Amino acid sequence: MPFTLQPLPYAPDALQPVISAETLALHHGKHLQAYVNNLNTAVAGTHFEALPLEEIVLKAEGGMLNNAGQILNHNLYFAQFHAPKQGKNLPSSNLLRAIEQTFGSFEAFQKEFVQKGTTLFGSGWVWLSADKEGKLVITQEPNAANPIQKGLRPLLTFDVWEHAYYVDFQNRRADHLAALWQIIDWDVIASRYDY
């Protein structure tokens, strides 16, 4: 069965002003659709055709890996948002406790996460992930890489490819990353962290 574009769980204008409807149309509707189309072409007639996306990311190489990785990354990315909230937007007590134990405070975690996203050279992703024991770690993953390739469970990600923010923030990557905290759906992130 071919891979399909995962629909957005919100209206195209729901994330404004953090992510505009124009950016979503390009990022989700064009970039992600191209990865889906490319992967379907790459897996056709191979043993990868029947594998789940995560297994392709773990076993494939080259263009097949790049397209599968980008689909997995974007699916996790787009599913983690909701309309902007006023005031503090914090995770549930279990995840918040783990963040505070690992990074000292939620604010220290946010600062390190944005710093790692801002300093990732070129294109890629910054991730909050958990190891097999539930210990949290922030990683910088270049291009289409995903933390599952390191045996980690991905929880939260910010896309630092320019197409994710250039329409709305031009070259101000740090401003874009700082704004994303307003639209994180911590219930989604907490559901990925079940330790």
Residues contacting residue 73 through CB under 8 Å, at least 6 positions apart: 125, 144, 146, 157, 159
pTM, whole model, 2 decimals? Answer: 0.95
Q: How far apart are CA 18 and CA 5, in angstroms?
A: 22
**The domain 93-192 belongs to what CATH superfamily?**
Iron/manganese superoxide dismutase, C-terminal domain (3.55.40.20)
Domain with CATH 3.55.40.20 in the chain: 93-192
Q: How far apart are CA 72 and CA 54, in angstroms?
A: 7
Helices within the chain (DSSP H only): 21-26, 33-43, 53-59, 62-79, 93-103, 106-119, 166-169, 173-180, 186-192
Domain with CATH 1.10.287.990 in the chain: 21-79
**CATH assignment, 21-79:** 1.10.287.990
| CB 189, CB 155: distance < 8 Å | yes
Q: Residue 71: pLDDT band by 50, 70, 90 thresholds?
A: very high
Q: Residue 87: pLDDT band by 50, 70, 90 thresholds?
A: low
Q: Report the length, in residues, of the chain.
A: 195
Predicted local distance difference test score (pLDDT) of residue 110: 97
Residue 54, SS3 per DSSP: helix
Q: What would the pLDDT profile of 112-152 be if each residue is shown by its tens digit?
A: 999 999 999 999 999 999 999 999 999 999 999 999 999 99
Q: Residue 92: pLDDT band by 50, 70, 90 thresholds?
A: confident
